[in-house]
């Protein structure tokens, strides 16, 4: 039985609608009869007159397309270096990023910043910080988001790896995190999440010179080593706004950081989700997904089922992603992959590695493209056809999440009313991060019609909350606005307006000209300019 989420939004309203307004209907709205019609991808049925007047009921057709939505799906791996002689930094290329977005519908990258030069010095020079900031600006202008990781070292030789590995001691790492803080905060709008990094080869926290007692035996982590790691993880959390998360490589890393046990008992509960506390802001990245029974040391509990239960609960509320790294049939094949991406609420995977694992999924790879992260779609809508000025009308929407996960970063939801001369927004007090996969979602809004008479087309807008990403200015070299690039497109046919970034509900409401002397509906709608055409 699918779960159902309900959100009722009551804006500041006056009296209820009059039951029937014949004079208004004939002059401003036309005559409405009970029946059905199809507009675009939705089917409408006119309901009989109710206490709110005439209403229209709509059903919406689902899309099967892979949609370029933010903070979900497959990503491309990118990395850059800064060696002792200052060489190795390769800036992001805007044309490459735009190509990935336009041709593959890839809207995010992993960006690994290797800090080789700074492993031996406390100071990151300003020129380097400026390069990092420029990369974020390039990503923003291309309409993509960045999964961020900082690291000091890659292996010098083939496995088995031997120390020294090349990472930095704790105090130096903490100084570097502090120096990176301004650039991270200034660009948090295009940061999807930050992987903990810094410690060990690749920043994965295992082969390290400084965060284990004996680098020859990195499997032995002492209580002091855990305390040192905890300092780094908490410093990185402080470096970011509380709206952004840090991902760690194993469940044990989080459990040691927040001092909670494994199993469902220690996992993040719904009441604490999105609270801004460390336990609510630490997610997980599994860079050996499906590689072995324990994913090459990712699941470390005994029995392993404890970490599995822990992650299944945690991942409802924190981001989970990663990459495949080893062919291990039947576990690495599609039936297992689909089941685990659903159980652990995967939001993203690496499209570049491991090609043999991904290739074994065959045609099912398209389903993975569609369902990684959230996949929100309209199912039904119920609308009042008309309203007198100063009164209120209701909009009732039913949505579904067909993806593996919910959105994990904050996101606004607005009802947009587009008239001939002005558009208006109605912010809705709902949180898409609570729209869990497999659920039916209800969004019910009572809206004040305190606006000029006329016909207003209704749209649903799920924009990024940051003003810089809500601009109707075009991304350089494209016909896509920043708003459209970073808003959520619903998985329905015929609803997406690629210019504005709104989802067209296929419905209008008419505000009449006859003002009732007793009408009163203060506040509720905030006028906003029409989008730039």
pLDDT band at 446 (very low <50, low <70, confident <90, very high): confident
The DSSP symbol for 492 reads B
- Which helix (DSSP H) or strand (DSSP E) does residue 266 occupy? helix 263-266
Q: Return mean pLDDT, the chain.
A: 90
pTM of the model: 0.91
pLDDT band at 528 (very low <50, low <70, confident <90, very high): low
Weakest mean pLDDT among 215-224, 400-409, 516-525: 516-525
| Better pLDDT: 347 or 4 | 347
Q: In the predicted model, what is the mean pLDDT of residues 285-296? A: 98
Q: Are 301 and 307 in contact (CB under 8 A)?
A: yes
Q: 3-state secondary structure string, 222-254?
A: CHHHHHHHHHHHHHHHHHCCCCCCEEECCHHHH
pLDDT band at 21 (very low <50, low <70, confident <90, very high): very low
Confidence at residue 297, expressed as pLDDT on a 0 to 100 scale: 97
pLDDT digits (tens, 9 = 90+) for 467-506: 999 999 999 999 999 999 999 999 999 999 999 999 999 9
pLDDT band at 512 (very low <50, low <70, confident <90, very high): confident
- Class of residue 330 by CB neighbours under 10 A (exposed 0-12, middle 13-18, buried 19+): exposed
How far is it, in rounded angstroms, from Cα 503 to Cα 66? 16
DSSP for 393-415? EEEEEEEEE-SSS---S----EE
Confidence at residue 1, expressed as pLDDT on a 0 to 100 scale: 41
pLDDT band at 448 (very low <50, low <70, confident <90, very high): confident
The b/e string for 78-98 (b: 16+ C-beta within 10 A; e otherwise) is bbbbbeeeeeebeebebeebb
Nearest to 372 by CA among 319, 442, 414, 300: 319
Contacts of 206 (CB under 8 A, 6+ apart): 200, 218, 249, 297
Residue 22 has pLDDT above 50, yes or no: no
Confidence at residue 513, expressed as pLDDT on a 0 to 100 scale: 84
Confidence at residue 51, expressed as pLDDT on a 0 to 100 scale: 44
Confidence at residue 104, expressed as pLDDT on a 0 to 100 scale: 98
How far is it, in rounded angstroms, from Cα 244 to Cα 239? 10
Residue with tokens 């020079």: 125
Residue 15 has pLDDT above 80, yes or no: no
The DSSP symbol for 390 reads T
Q: Delineate the domains of the chain, giving CATH numbers in brackets.
A: 3-65+375-528 (no CATH), 70-244 (3.20.20.80), 265-373 (no CATH)
Count of alpha carbons within 13 angstroms of residue 98, beta-carbon side: 14
pLDDT digits (tens, 9 = 90+) for 380-394: 999 999 988 878 888
pLDDT digits (tens, 9 = 90+) for 25-59: 222 233 223 334 454 567 777 664 544 568 999 99
Cα angle, residue 371 at apex, residues 365 and 375 outer, rounded to 5°: 150
Contacts of 480 (CB under 8 A, 6+ apart): 143, 474, 498
The angle, 0 to 180 degrees and rounded to 10, between the axes of the packed helices 251-258 and 223-239 is 90
Cα torsion 87, 88, 93, 96: sign: positive
User: How far lies 28's CA from each of 86, 121, 132, 377, 450, in Å?
Assistant: 69, 73, 56, 32, 16
DSSP for 117-131? GGGG-S---HHHHHH
- Class of residue 393 by CB neighbours under 10 A (exposed 0-12, middle 13-18, buried 19+): buried
| Better pLDDT: 54 or 349 | 349
Residue with tokens 């652990």: 344
Residue 16 has pLDDT above 50, yes or no: no
Q: Are 32 and 363 in contact (CB under 8 A)?
A: no
Confidence at residue 452, expressed as pLDDT on a 0 to 100 scale: 87
- Which helix (DSSP H) or strand (DSSP E) does residue 508 occupy? strand 502-511
Backbone φ and ψ for 387, nearest 5 degrees, come out as -155, 145
Confidence at residue 390, expressed as pLDDT on a 0 to 100 scale: 77
pLDDT digits (tens, 9 = 90+) for 178-214: 999 999 999 999 999 999 999 999 999 999 999 999 9
pLDDT digits (tens, 9 = 90+) for 320-337: 999 999 999 999 999 999
How far is it, in rounded angstroms, from Cα 212 to Cα 221? 5
Kindly report the number of other CB atoms within 10 A of residue 133's CB atom.
Answer: 15
Residue 518 has pLDDT above 90, yes or no: no
Cα 465 from chain centre: 11
Confidence at residue 392, expressed as pLDDT on a 0 to 100 scale: 84
Residue with tokens 């014949």: 22
Q: 3-state secondary structure string, 304-334?
A: HHHHHHHHHHHCCCCCEEEEECCCCCCCCCH
How far is it, in rounded angstroms, from Cα 19 to Cα 50? 6
Work out the percent of the chain whose per-residue pLDDT is above 70.
Answer: 87
pLDDT digits (tens, 9 = 90+) for 227-253: 999 999 999 999 999 999 999 999 999
How far is it, in rounded angstroms, from Cα 79 to Cα 135? 11
Residue 11 has pLDDT above 80, yes or no: no
| Better pLDDT: 394 or 522 | 394
Cα angle, residue 502 at apex, residues 501 and 503 outer, rounded to 5°: 130
Q: In the predicted model, what is the mean pLDDT of residues 367-383? A: 99
Q: For 151, left (φ over 0), alpha (ψ -120 to 50), or beta?
A: beta
């Amino acid at each position: 039985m699918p779960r159902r989420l309900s959100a009722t939004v009551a804006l500041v309203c006056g009296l209820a609608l009059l039951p029937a307004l014949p004079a208004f209907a004939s002059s401003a709205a036309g005559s409405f009869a009970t029946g059905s019609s199809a507009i675009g991808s939705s089917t409408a049925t006119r309901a009989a007159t109710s206490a709110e007047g005439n209403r229209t009921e709509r059903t919406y057709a689902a899309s099967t397309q892979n949609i370029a939505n933010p903070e979900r799906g497959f990503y491309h791996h990118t990395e850059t270096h800064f060696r002792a002689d200052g060489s190795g930094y390769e800036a992001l290329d805007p044309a490459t990023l735009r190509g990935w977005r336009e041709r593959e519908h890839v809207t995010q990258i992993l960006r690994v910043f290797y800090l080789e030069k700074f492993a031996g010095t406390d100071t990151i020079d300003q020129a380097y910080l400026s390069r990092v900031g420029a990369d974020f600006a390039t990503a923003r202008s291309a309409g993509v988001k960045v999964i961020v990781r900082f690291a000091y070292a890659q292996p010098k030789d083939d496995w088995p790896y031997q120390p020294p590995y090349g990472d930095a001691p704790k105090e130096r790492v903490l100084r570097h995190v502090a120096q990176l803080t301004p650039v991270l905060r200034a660009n948090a709008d295009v940061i999807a999440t930050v992987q903990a990094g810094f410690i060990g080869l690749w920043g994965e926290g295992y082969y390290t010179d400084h965060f284990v007692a004996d680098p020859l035996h990195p499997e032995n982590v002492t209580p002091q080593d855990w305390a040192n790691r905890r300092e780094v993880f908490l410093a990185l959390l402080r470096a970011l706004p509380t709206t952004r998360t840090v991902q760690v490589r194993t469940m044990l890393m989080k459990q040691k950081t927040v001092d909670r046990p494994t199993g469902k008992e220690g996992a993040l509960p719904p009441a604490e989700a999105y609270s801004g506390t460390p336990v609510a802001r630490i997610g997980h990245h599994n860079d050996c997904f499906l590689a072995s029974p324990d994913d090459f040391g990712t699941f470390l509990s005994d029995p392993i089922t404890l970490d599995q239960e822990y992650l299944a609960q945690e991942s409802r509320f924190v981001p989970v992603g990663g990459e495949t790294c080893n062919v291990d049939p039947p576990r690495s094949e599609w039936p297992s992959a689909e089941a685990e991406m659903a159980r652990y609420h995967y939001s993203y995977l690496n499209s570049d590695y491991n090609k043999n694992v991904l290739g074994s999924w065959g045609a099912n790879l398209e389903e993975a493209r569609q369902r990684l992260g959230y996949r929100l779609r309209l199912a039904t809508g119920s609308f009042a056809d008309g309203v007198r000025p100063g009164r209120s009308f209701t909009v009732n929407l039913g949505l579904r999440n067909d993806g593996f996960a919910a959105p994990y970063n904050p996101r606004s939801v607005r009802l947009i009313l587009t008239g001939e001369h002005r558009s208006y927004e109605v912010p809705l007090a709902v949180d898409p991060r609570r729209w869990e996969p497999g659920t039916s979602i209800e969004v019910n809004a009572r809206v004040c019609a305190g606006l000029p008479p006329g016909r207003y087309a209704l749209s649903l807008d799920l924009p990024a909350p940051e003003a810089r990403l809500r601009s109707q200015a075009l991304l350089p070299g494209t016909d896509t606005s920043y708003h459209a690039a970073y808003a959520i497109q619903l998985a329905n046919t015929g609803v997406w307006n690629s210019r504005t970034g709104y989802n067209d509900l296929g419905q209008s409401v008419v505000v009449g000209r006859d003002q009732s002397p007793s009408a009163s509906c203060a506040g509720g709608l905030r006028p906003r300019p029409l989008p730039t055409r």
